[in-house]
A = this chain, B = another copy of it.
Amino acid sequence: MTENITISHEIAAVLRDEILRQQFRCGERFPSERDLAVRFNASRGAVREALSQLELLGLIRILPGGTRVQAIDSASIAVLGPLMAMDDMPDPVLVDQFLQTFGALTSLTARTAINRADAKQLILLEEMVVELAQQLSDFEAMQPKWREFLQTMETVADNLVVRLIGNDLKAQFVEQMMKLGVKPEVEKKTLEQLLSSLQQSLANGDGDRAASAMQTHFDEVRLAVSEAMNSELMTPELTNAKPGNSKLANDRAEDLQRETV
């Protein structure tokens, strides 16, 4: 949010989406800067800024003689958000993959956090878990606490790599899901299990156990989200319910990725 709407950003967004929609074949020539400038009724400078961004996203490759389109597989994570936000209903496959990944990283965070935490931090975390357990029934109220807990764990684990990945992932995904109002219904029993496991892990300083509990929990969430998306999502416009797009994750086995020019 607070996005600074700029011509170059707009151009970048449009072109990005076109590429993500596979309107260009990988390796194909991209329109020249001058052409794009005409098309968008903008100056070449603006276009160049846009292309500069697309290049950083790994979507195109700018080189003298002509710009070329790259395979989506070789793009940066930053394209995930747009990829999911493109259609009004994000690809369920992608969402699931997302949750899997997020789960794995959260699991790692939990493990590291518990293994690294000092006595004080352990107590703090434990308190948070207890607090969470008390609000088990109130999903809405629990949400922020849960996030806070995750964030605290992140801080304790203090893994910059995970945090950076988390930034991109969260920024692009969580927001998207929120906007769609997807509320996965996780069974209370499952949550109870998670919290109790966490509590014990914290008590024993058993990071591995916490990791595995977190893992299990995320698998449940994945299931719940999947169901929520399948049912609840027969919302207003289901006009363009393209079943495809999932193929984004499939085809295009190997490409001319490392063609040294």
**Does A224 count as interface, using CB distance less than 8 angstroms?**
no
Which residue from chain B places its CB closest to the CB of A8 in the assembled complex? B52
Task: Return A48 CB to nearest CB of chain B, in Å.
Answer: 6
B164 touches A80 (CB 8 A): yes
A161 touches B73 (CB 8 A): no
**Does A165 count as interface, using CB distance less than 8 angstroms?**
yes
Task: Return A177 CB to nearest CB of chain B, in Å.
Answer: 14
Interface with B: A93-101, A123-131, A140-148, which one?
A: A93-101
Counting chain B CB atoms within 10 Å of each CB, the highest count among A48, A63, A101, A107 belongs to: A101
User: Given that A2-B261, A52-B8, A108-B100 are known contacts, is A76 also in contact with B158, CB under 8 Å in the complex?
Assistant: no
Interface with B: A22-30, A191-199, A229-237, A245-253, which one?
A: A245-253
Which residue from chain B places its CB closest to the CB of A173 in the assembled complex? B161
For A17, list chain B residues within 8 Å (CB).
none
B159 touches A77 (CB 8 A): no
User: Given that A4-B64, A63-B4, A167-B74 are known contacts, is A100 also in contact with B161, CB under 8 Å in the complex?
Assistant: yes
**Does A62 count as interface, using CB distance less than 8 angstroms?**
yes
For A31, list chain B residues within 8 Å (CB).
none
Task: Return A155 CB to nearest CB of chain B, in Å.
Answer: 7
A160 touches B53 (CB 8 A): no
For A73, list chain B residues within 8 Å (CB).
160, 163-164, 167
Task: Return A124 CB to nearest CB of chain B, in Å.
Answer: 14
- Cα–Cα distance between A74 and B164 once the two chains are bound (Å): 7
Count chain A residues whose beta carbon lies closer than 8 angstroms to a beta carbon of B.
Answer: 52
- Cα–Cα distance between A39 and B51 once the two chains are bound (Å): 24
Which residue from chain B places its CB closest to the CB of A95 in the assembled complex? B161
A159 touches B58 (CB 8 A): no
- Cα–Cα distance between A97 and B105 once the two chains are bound (Å): 12
B155 touches A253 (CB 8 A): yes
For A80, list chain B residues within 8 Å (CB).
160-161, 164
Q: Which of B56, B94, B167 contacts A160 (CB 8 A)?
A: B94
A101 touches B97 (CB 8 A): no
Q: List 22 A-B contacts (CB under 8 A).
A: A2-B261, A8-B52, A45-B45, A48-B49, A49-B49, A49-B52, A56-B56, A73-B167, A76-B77, A76-B167, A77-B77, A77-B164, A79-B164, A97-B160, A98-B161, A100-B159, A100-B161, A100-B162, A101-B105, A101-B161, A158-B250, A165-B165
